Chain A
């Protein structure tokens, strides 16, 4: 009798002990996680939810101090969005920018990485640092410089063109060249970061694969097509997804270079959202930001489908 009681008490004690241990583990874990989690919840997670809620209300800047006293308008903001010519124009500009800018950036990065990886290149570190320089530079400073360089009168670019007899356009002031100029500038600014990632991927390709390909009589171009590209697929996918996510959010370049002009030819979706925020249309801006969010997720899924590895 006493023996059974003792055993029971023992078992109860053990479960209590296990419970206490689990409790201690939870407390320790969350004490490490808590500082970040609190900041994350308040300043990132809460705004993500708030944005979704705002997008179905008529919230305006005048409601800033009373954000809960707004009216529910259902999908009204979303309906308005797709009837808004300016939003549609911004969406078209953004799509064109992504469709041209992502391949351009990837090709430039791939070319630079391959050039730096081929054989014994001296000053490799110098080139690498140089190509990376625009990535770490403030967009505002870059804009100051490029607005000068592209100036139709005193700019170096048109001056160089004039020397070879070409009458250079007013790059940023002409609706036919403004978006293209922004696209090239974005590629110029960003290819360095992909180059570093591609270079690391290239250095991971075993040299004996190239030796085998050479023995089989494959030329340089064939080696690139049949060995390098397939083995770089994960890095290329990663580069395409990251660049796509970044470029869909195009904003700072047109803001500091062209203010979205001329004639809205460089207005992007993010810039349109920013403008609507400036006009005080908070609910409307929130709805547009969710459309952008969906577009980003959709593009990433599409890229994974198209470029993803099939070896699973």
Chain B
């Protein structure tokens, strides 16, 4: 009995140490963003702020254009999420429940795309977007991400579990396929749509490489791009501002994640994919 208790205590100790290593950096980031510049660079470093200040956040929103970057990130993430929910559920339904020529080939092509590294499509996508005159526009930031293969895979898996009898009954009652889709299928898909929605939103919010090359002026930067450009190169800004900027990037994600984490982690575990 005591041996069991000792084992359990050791387990908790290890888990707590692990938690400190994983979450500690985020706590330090949040606390340090509330320190004045001099204290952030102090040697030896402090953990708890000696002096509390909101100056970093004030500067971030007043002197730099962070409200604009925040808006850009939100616009892009919302458009990409809505597009994926719509297009992926439409195709997912067709692949799972409708019989049409070319269905198998289409599914294999979409599935195969999951293996293609981003760098393969990166350069031609840039050439394409530039030639369509969409560089440095919201359309250019959004279009390549509207139809994600992963979403199709997820929606198809989920839709296959919907009983055919249900759809057949609706067909017998004279409902067309579109009516069935909007009235019966989509409401049943809510859990899968929630998972896909959260995953897509987070991926888009954190997306970095594409907006880095497509957004070329200040007014189209997303948050990660702005933060990266301010943290490296000639535009380097004060450390306090950087840390406050990092907090601004993380907090919306944190809120979405904490509010929906049950849903989210279960969805990932069942689809078995990130």
User: By the criterion CB–CB under 8 Å, are A127 and B19 in contact?
Assistant: yes
User: By the criterion CB–CB under 8 Å, are A144 and B231 in contact?
Assistant: yes
Q: By DSSP majority rule, is chain A's interface helix, strand, loop, or mixed? A: helix
Question: Which B positions have Cβ atoms within 8 angstroms of A?
Answer: 8, 11, 14-15, 18-19, 21-23, 25-26, 28-29, 32, 40-45, 47, 86-88, 90-91, 93-95, 98-103, 106, 109-110, 113, 115-128, 130-131, 143-144, 146-147, 149, 152, 177, 181, 202, 205-206, 208-209, 223-224, 227-228, 231-232, 239, 242-243, 245-247, 249-250, 253-254, 257-258, 261, 265, 268-270, 272-274
Q: How far is the CA of A199 from the CA of B272 in the complex (A)?
A: 11
Q: How far is the CA of A249 from the CA of B19 in the complex (A)?
A: 28
User: By the criterion CB–CB under 8 Å, are A28 and B98 in contact?
Assistant: yes
Are A196 and B269 CB-contacts (below 8 A) given A136-B253, A154-B41?
yes
Q: How far is the CA of A119 from the CA of B8 in the complex (A)?
A: 9
Within 8 A of B (CB), among A122-175: 126-149, 153-156, 159, 162
User: By the criterion CB–CB under 8 Å, are B224 and A118 in contact?
Assistant: no
Q: How far is the CA of A238 from the CA of B274 in the complex (A)?
A: 11
User: By the criterion CB–CB under 8 Å, are A293 and B116 in contact?
Assistant: yes
User: By the criterion CB–CB under 8 Å, are A35 and B87 in contact?
Assistant: yes
Could you list 17 A-B pairs, sorted by A, with CB under 8 Å?
A29-B98, A35-B87, A43-B143, A130-B22, A136-B257, A138-B205, A141-B247, A144-B29, A149-B28, A156-B45, A199-B269, A249-B118, A252-B209, A282-B123, A285-B123, A293-B116, A300-B115
Indicate which residue in A45, A162, A256 contacts B228 across the interface (CB closer than 8 Å). A256
> Does A226 belong to the interface (CB within 8 Å)?
no
User: By the criterion CB–CB under 8 Å, are B28 and A30 in contact?
Assistant: no
Q: How far is the CA of A39 from the CA of B247 in the complex (A)?
A: 34
The 4 closest A-B pairs by CB, nearest first: A29-B100, A200-B269, A47-B124, A32-B94
> Does A210 belong to the interface (CB within 8 Å)?
no
User: By the criterion CB–CB under 8 Å, are B22 and A131 in contact?
Assistant: yes
Residues of B within 8 A of A133 (CB): 22-23, 26, 254, 257
Most buried by A among B8, B116, B152, B247: B116
> Does A270 belong to the interface (CB within 8 Å)?
yes
Are A256 and B45 CB-contacts (below 8 A) given A35-B90, A137-B253, A277-B123?
no
Listed stretches A48-56, A96-104, A303-311; interface member: A48-56
> Does A286 belong to the interface (CB within 8 Å)?
yes
> Does A186 belong to the interface (CB within 8 Å)?
no
Q: How far is the CA of A300 from the CA of B18 in the complex (A)?
A: 30
User: By the criterion CB–CB under 8 Å, are B88 and A36 in contact?
Assistant: yes
Indicate which residue in A51, A188, A300 contacts B124 across the interface (CB closer than 8 Å). A51
Residues of A within 8 A of B144 (CB): 43-44
Q: By DSSP majority rule, is chain B's interface helix, strand, loop, or mixed? A: helix
Are A50 and B91 CB-contacts (below 8 A) given A67-B131, A140-B231?
no
Residues of A within 8 A of B47 (CB): 156
Indicate which residue in B87, B130, B239 contacts A39 across the interface (CB closer than 8 Å). B87
User: By the criterion CB–CB under 8 Å, are B265 and A128 in contact?
Assistant: yes
Indicate which residue in A29, A141, A251 contacts B99 across the interface (CB closer than 8 Å). A29
Residues of A within 8 A of B11 (CB): 115, 118, 121
User: By the criterion CB–CB under 8 Å, are B261 and A289 in contact?
Assistant: no
Question: Which A positions have Cβ atoms within 8 angstroms of B?
Answer: 25-26, 28-30, 32-33, 35-37, 39-40, 42-48, 50-51, 54, 64-65, 67, 112, 115-116, 118-119, 121, 126-149, 153-156, 159, 162, 188, 192-193, 196-197, 199-200, 235, 238, 242, 245, 248-249, 251-252, 255-256, 259, 270, 273-274, 277, 282, 285-286, 288-290, 292-293, 296-297, 300
User: By the criterion CB–CB under 8 Å, are A140 and B265 in contact?
Assistant: no
Residues of A within 8 A of B15 (CB): 115-116, 121, 127
User: By the criterion CB–CB under 8 Å, are A51 and B120 in contact?
Assistant: yes
Q: How far is the CA of A202 from the CA of B146 in the complex (A)?
A: 35
Indicate which residue in A28, A45, A64, A145 contacts B25 across the interface (CB closer than 8 Å). A145
User: By the criterion CB–CB under 8 Å, are A149 and B25 in contact?
Assistant: yes
Residues of A within 8 A of B25 (CB): 142, 145-146, 149
Residues of A within 8 A of B95 (CB): 33
User: By the criterion CB–CB under 8 Å, are A47 and B121 in contact?
Assistant: yes
Taking the closest CB of chain A, its distance from the CB of B34, in whole angstroms, is: 14
